């Protein structure tokens, strides 16, 4: 019997978990020709999330959990899930039931047809503000342009991955992760499944706009260095303009015998170009920051315990 690991990152999800267990149980009753592993990654929750998971594990041994030493963020929780998953395929799912488990049989169906990466694409996004929908749409557009690679729009992390995709993703160990672009990067045979994204069943979203902006910048800088090229695109024409303008001013001074006077113009020019420089330094700083973080070669996450076994960090 083939085994499917359902990976669920959970951060302060005590309110959603009872609903989640119920829906998953229903699913596993229906789909009984597969072995299931429900792998929770407790991302340093401050509430009773891990206690609830442990309690459920006592009555259902299909439940496993990785308990992080602190909150490392969802992207990191996902790679930990892939590291610990034992299945022939893995499915990423949110703990808040925004990704309906009822879609899983369809994902499995396409996997059996030979697809490696079956991803669920949102038809609608109930319970999300207009602003969130709009910014998300714009972000995908920009990312796609910059990356020069097809990136699935309106697609979250809800997807099924074949073992070879799991192994491929496990090789990508950068610490500032943008899993969404990694799914595109690995390639393999992809299949789209449409679904309606539900509102959160309970609890509050952990995202705020600042976090989303962070994620967006990480997404772009982790994927492409083309913003760095902006320096060239702006810098070279600027140099030519300056060169021509300087010649023009010198010739004008000699021929018409007038003094260069326009100090206002100079001030404006200085402001303009220092502005450009600051922006470009900012972009370079982004990449420098990434290099700094990556060169530390720290482990991506630290585990407190796995299925009740204490992590000792012995080598
Ligand atoms: N999550 C996590 N670590 C975090 C934040 C969120 O593991 O630091 C989990 C969270 O428990 C949920 C999933 O990531 O299972 C999606 O989070 P959320 O529903 O808050 O995001 P949204 O659906 O609003 O984008
Ligand atoms: Mg959610």
Q: pLDDT tens track of the chain, all 315 residues? A: 999 999 999 999 999 999 999 999 999 988 889 999 999 999 999 999 999 999 999 999 999 999 999 999 899 999 999 999 999 999 999 998 888 898 999 999 999 999 999 999 887 766 677 877 787 778 778 877 777 777 777 778 899 999 999 999 999 988 878 788 889 889 899 998 988 877 777 777 776 777 777 777 877 777 777 777 777 777 777 777 777 877 887 788 788 887 776 766 676 677 778 777 877 877 887 788 788 777 878 889 999 999 988 888 777
**Ligand 1 probe mutation, 6, 7, 9, 78, most atoms within 8 A of CB:** 9
Rounded Cα–Cα distance for residues 225 and 283 (Å) = 10
Distances, alpha carbon 225 to alpha carbons 79, 214, 309, in Å: 24, 17, 42
- Give the per-residue pLDDT at 106: 92
- Distance in angstroms (rounded) separating the CA atoms of residues 113 and 34: 15
- Phi first, then psi: what are they for 222, rounded to 5°? -80, -20
Within 6 A (CB) of ligand 1 lie 9-11, 13, 43, 71, 73-74, 77, 94-96, 98, 200, 205-207
Say what the pLDDT of residue 250 is.
Answer: 78
Going 207 to 179 to 309 to 3, the CA torsion angle's sign is: positive
pTM for the predicted model, two decimal places: 0.75
Mutate to test the pocket of ligand 1, among 7, 12, 96, 154 (most ligand atoms within 8 A of CB): 96
Nearest alpha carbon to residue 81 among 309, 301, 272, 296 = 301
Decide if 163 contacts 89 (C-beta within 8 A): yes
> What are the DSSP calls for 39-102, one per residue?
EEEE-S-SSSHHHHHHHHHHH-TTEEEEEESS---HHHHHHHHHHH--SSEEEE--TTS-S-GG
Question: What is the pLDDT at residue 127?
Answer: 66
For residue 192, the SS3 value is strand
State residue 46's pLDDT score: 93
Atom of ligand 1 lying closest to residue 205 CA: 20
Closest ligand 1 atom number to CA of residue 94: 15
Residue whose CA lies nearest to ligand 1 atom number 24: 205
Residue 297 falls in which region: left (phi positive, over 0), alpha (psi -120 to 50) or beta: left
Distance 207 CA to ligand 2 centre (A): 8
In the chain, domain spans? 3-208+299-310, 226-294
Domain boundaries 3-208+299-310, corresponding CATH code: 3.90.550.10
* DSSP state for residue 34 in the 8-state scheme: S
Nearest ligand, CA of residue 79?
1
pLDDT in the model for residue 298 = 84
């Amino acid at each position: 019997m083939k085994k499917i690991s359902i990976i669920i990152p959970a951060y302060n999800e005590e309110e959603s978990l009872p609903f989640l267990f119920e829906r998953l149980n229903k699913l596993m009753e229906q789909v009984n020709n597969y072995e299931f592993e429900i792998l929770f990654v407790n991302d340093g929750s401050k509430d009773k999330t891990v206690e609830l998971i442990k309690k459920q594990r006592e009555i259902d041994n299909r439940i496993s959990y990785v308990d992080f030493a602190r909150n490392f963020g969802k992207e990191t929780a996902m790679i930990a899930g892939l590291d610990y998953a034992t299945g022939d395929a893995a499915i990423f799912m949110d703990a808040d039931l925004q990704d309906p488990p009822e879609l899983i049989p369809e994902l499995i169906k396409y996997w059996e047809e030979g697809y490696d990466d079956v991803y669920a694409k949102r038809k609608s996004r109930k319970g999300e503000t207009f602003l969130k929908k709009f910014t998300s749409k714009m972000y995908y557009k920009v990312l796609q342009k910059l990356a020069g690679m097809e990136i699935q729009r309106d697609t979250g992390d809800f997807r099924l991955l074949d073992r070879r995709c799991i192994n491929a993703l496990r090789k990508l160990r950068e610490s500032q992760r943008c899993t969404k672009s990694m799914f595109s990067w690995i390639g393999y045979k992809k299949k789209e499944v449409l679904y309606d994204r539900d509102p959160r069943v309970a609890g509050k979203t952990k995202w705020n706009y600042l976090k989303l902006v962070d994620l967006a910048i990480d997404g772009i800088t982790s994927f492409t260095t083309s913003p760095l090229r902006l320096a060239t695109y702006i810098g070279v024409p600027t140099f030519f303009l300056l060169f021509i303008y300087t010649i023009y001013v010198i010739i004008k001074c000699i021929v018409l015998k007038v003094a260069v006077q326009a100090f206002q113009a100079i001030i404006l020019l200085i402001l303009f170009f220092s502005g450009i420089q600051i922006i470009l330094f900012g972009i370079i700083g982004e990449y420098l920051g990434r290099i700094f973080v990556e060169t530390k070669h720290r482990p991506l996450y630290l585990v407190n315990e796995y299925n009740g076994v204490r992590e000792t960090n012995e080598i």
